[in-house]
Chain A
C-alpha cells in the first residue's frame, strides 16, 4: 500500500521536473533570441518613428517632459525615447563608444560631451551637420559653437555650456582675487586668522575633471597643449606650463591647499567648502544652487562667486564644459532627428534648463535677456567666464592626451614629480599620443 503512494508521488514529481525543464529551455531560448541587445524599436505600435536619444539619466522628469513636448509640437511626427548613459563622463563615453563602434541603429541622437567631437567624427560615428548649422551658427556663443567644430565642419548643435567659477567666503575675505598669486596671499592671511581651514580647494584627482583644472592653470599662464593644426605638442613652448605647475607646487608646500585635495573631485570640493572648511573653491555653477539650498550647508549667504582669476601679467583661462547634440551615423531618421534637436535646443527649453538644472544657454541672446538676469543671478559673472572660455584640445586622440596630462598634474600635486619633470613627461606623452604611439 505504501509503495503505491510512493509511486504516485514520484510520478507527480517527474511531471514537475519535466515542466521545470521545459520552462528552463524556453527561458534560455528567449535569452538567446534577445541576446543581441535590447534595441529600441524603430517605430512604435502606431507606426510613429521612435528616435533613440542617448543621454544622461535624468531623474527629475524634466527631460521626459521636454521629449513629450517636442513630440507634440511636431504634430506627432516622432517620439523621443531616452537611452540612459552615465553616470560619469568617462563611463558614458565607454558605453557610447562600444555601441557606436558596433553600429547600433537604435541610437539616433547623442548628447555629446564637448570633448568627444573630434574622436567621434573621426571614427565616423556622427553625421556632418555643416549644411544645416551654417546658416544658424552666428546665434550661438562663439566658444560653445567652437566645441562643435572639427576639421572646419560642424558636427553638433550646442545645447548647453558651462564655465567654472571661483567661489569665495565673504565672511573671511572681502573681495575676489584678480590673480592666482593674490589668491594664495589672501588664503594665507585668512588661514592665519582661522587655523585649520583650507585656503583653496579644487579638483586635484587624476581624472577628466583634474584635466580641466590642469588646463585652466596652465592656460592661465599662457601654455597651450596643442598646435592649432593639432599635430604638435606645444606645452614646452615658453615657461607657461612650468610656471603654473610651480605655483601649484608652492600652494601645496605652503599648505594653502591640503594634501587631500589630490583626491578631490567636484563633489568632494563642494562638500568641503559647504562644511565651511575652505576659503576659496574652484567649481562649476551647479554648486551655487546646492550650497544655498542644502540643509547641511554651513555657508548659506556667506559666499559669493567671481570669474576664475588668471596669473599675474599673463592671462586667464576658463575651460568650458557642456553638451552638444549630434546625430548618429547609423540613424534611419536624420531629418526627424534634426527637427527634434532643434526643438530640444530651442530658446524656451534652454531658458528653463538654466533655471532648473544650472545648465547655461548657448544662444547669445539669452545672456542679455532681462528675465534671465533675474532668474539666474550669476549669469553676468558666467558670461565673463565664457568670454575667456577655452575649449579642451581637439584631437581624436583626446583620451590618450588627457590621461597623460591628468596623471602628471596629479603627480606634481602629490610631490612625485617636479614641475620641470612633469612638463617634460606631458610634452613627450602628448606627442607620442598624437603620433598614434601612445606609450604604455
Chain B
C-alpha cells in the first residue's frame, strides 16, 4: 500500500502544481463559466418569464432580430463614443496628474495621493446623482448654469444626446482619472533614475526624455490602465442609468440589455444581448493583450530590473556578513 503522500511525492512538479490549481479552476467554472454558458444557451431560446409556457429553441433568431434593430446599433455607437471620449480624456488627465504627483510635495505627498483617490472610492450611484443635479439648470450653481448655457439650449445639458454624453464623460472623468493617475504613478516610480541621469549626461532635452524614456518604460502600466478603463466604460451602466435613464438615445448596450432582461423579463433576447456585450468586451481585451504581447521592450525590462535588484540585495547581504 502506498500512502497518499507517497503518490504526491511521485508526481513531477508540473502535475503537482496542476493538482493544486484544480480547486480554483472548479470554483471559477462554477461562478464564471456556468453563467456564461447558461446565458449562451438561453440566448438561443424564445423565453419570457411572464409567459413561461411559450418556451422554444429558435437558434440564432434572437441575434438576427437584435442585429437588425436600430436600437442596438444606436446603443453600440453610443457606447463606443462614450468609451473613446472618456478613456482618452481620462488618460491624458491621469498621466498629467501622475507626472505632477511623481515630483512629490514634500511631507504632503502621502495626503495628496490619498485625497486624489476619494472620487474613485465614492459609490458611482451617489456621484451620478450628484452630477445629475449639478447638470440640471434648475438646481445647479449660477456659475455652472452660465457655463452650461454655452453648450446647451436653456443650459439643459441632459436634454440632448451629445450634451448628455459629454456630461456623463465629465462625471466619469472626475471619478476615474485619479485611478489611472495612481496606476501610472506606480509605473513612473519603478523607472530607474539612472536612465534619466544617463540622458542628462548625453544632454537630452526634457521632451526627448519624456518620449524616449518615460513613455516607453511606462507602456505596460499604460496598457493595463487603459485596458481596465476601456472594459469598464464598455460595460457602463450605473452612471447612465441615473443621469439620463437612457433618454435621447443615450442608452449604452448594458442599459439596453437591462431593459430586456429585467424590465421586460425577456430572457431570450436579454441573454443574447448580454452575450453580444460579452463578445465586444472580449474583442477589446484580446486586442489589448495582442498589443501587449507585441511590445517586447516593455516586457524585457522587468526581469533585468528585478535581476539588478536581486543582485543588489545579494551584495548588501554579503556586506552585512
Contacts and interface: CB of A to CB of B under 8 A. Distances in A.
Interface string B28-50: 00000000000000000000111
Interface in A228-267: 258-260, 262-263
Contacts of A410: 247
A268 B246 contact: no
B138 A260 contact: yes
Contact of B136 (A122, A260, A275, A439): A260
A396 to B, nearest CB: 6
Q: Interface centre among A90, A205, A263, A400, by most B CB within 10 Å?
A: A263
Interface in B52-97: 52, 54, 65-66, 69, 71-72
Contacts of B159: 259-260, 262-263, 414
Interface in B115-153: 136-139, 153
Contact of A416 (B51, B66, B248): B248
B263 interface: yes
A123 B49 contact: yes
B172 interface: no
Contact of A119 (B50, B65, B153): B50
A117 to B, nearest CB: 13
A205 B264 CA distance: 19
B1 interface: no
Contacts of B65: 440
Contacts of B71: 439-440
A75 to B, nearest CB: 40
Given A262-B159, A438-B264, A268 B247 contact: no
Interface in A392-416: 396-397, 399-400, 403, 407, 410, 414, 416
Given A263-B156, A272-B138, A205 B262 contact: no
B269 interface: yes
B154 interface: yes
Given A205-B245, A440-B269, A123 B259 contact: no
Contacts of B245: 205-207
Contacts of B244: 263
Contacts of A438: 264, 266
A119 B248 CA distance: 28
B247 A206 contact: yes
Contact of B259 (A97, A277, A397, A403): A403
A231 to B, nearest CB: 15
Contacts of A122: 50
Interface in A336-384: none
A259 B247 contact: no
Given A101-B49, A403-B259, A410-B247, A259 B264 contact: no
Interface string A258-300: 1110110000100110010100000000000000000000000
Nearest to B50: A123
A436 B51 CA distance: 9
Contacts of A206: 245-247
B239 interface: no
Interface in B256-298: 259-260, 262-266, 269
Contacts of A400: 264
Q: Interface centre among B49, B65, B138, B159, by most A CB within 10 Å?
A: B138
A259 B154 contact: yes
B54 A436 contact: yes
Given A122-B50, A123-B50, A268 B136 contact: yes
A414 B138 contact: no
A417 to B, nearest CB: 11
A262 B247 contact: yes
B158 interface: yes
Contacts of A64: none
A94 interface: yes
Q: Interface centre among A122, A271, A396, A400, by most B CB within 10 Å?
A: A400
A123 B269 CA distance: 19
A339 to B, nearest CB: 30
Interface string A116-150: 00010011000000000000000000000000000
Nearest to B159: A259
A399 B246 contact: no
A401 to B, nearest CB: 10
A260 B156 contact: yes
A97 B265 contact: yes
B11 to A, nearest CB: 23
Contacts of A94: 262-263
Q: Interface centre among B49, B153, B160, B265, by most A CB within 10 Å?
A: B265
A439 B69 contact: yes
B264 A403 contact: yes
A81 B270 CA distance: 34
A174 to B, nearest CB: 26
Nearest to B46: A436
Q: Interface centre among B48, B50, B160, by most A CB within 10 Å?
A: B50
A271 B138 CA distance: 9
Interface string B168-206: 000000000000000000000000000000000000000
Interface in A417-440: 436, 438-440
A186 B156 CA distance: 25
B265 A271 contact: no
Contacts of A277: 138
A199 to B, nearest CB: 13
User: Which 3 A-B pairs rank lowest in CB-CB distance, beginning with the nearest?
Assistant: A440-B69, A259-B156, A259-B154
26 contacts: A123-B51, A206-B246, A258-B137, A258-B138, A259-B154, A260-B138, A260-B158, A260-B159, A263-B156, A263-B247, A268-B138, A272-B138, A272-B139, A275-B138, A277-B138, A396-B51, A400-B264, A403-B259, A414-B247, A414-B248, A436-B54, A439-B69, A439-B71, A440-B65, A440-B71, A440-B269
Interface of B: 48-52, 54, 65-66, 69, 71-72, 136-139, 153-154, 156, 158-160, 244-248, 259-260, 262-266, 269
Given A206-B247, A262-B156, A277-B138, 13 more contacts: A122-B50, A123-B51, A123-B52, A205-B245, A258-B137, A260-B154, A263-B156, A263-B159, A268-B136, A400-B264, A407-B247, A414-B159, A414-B248
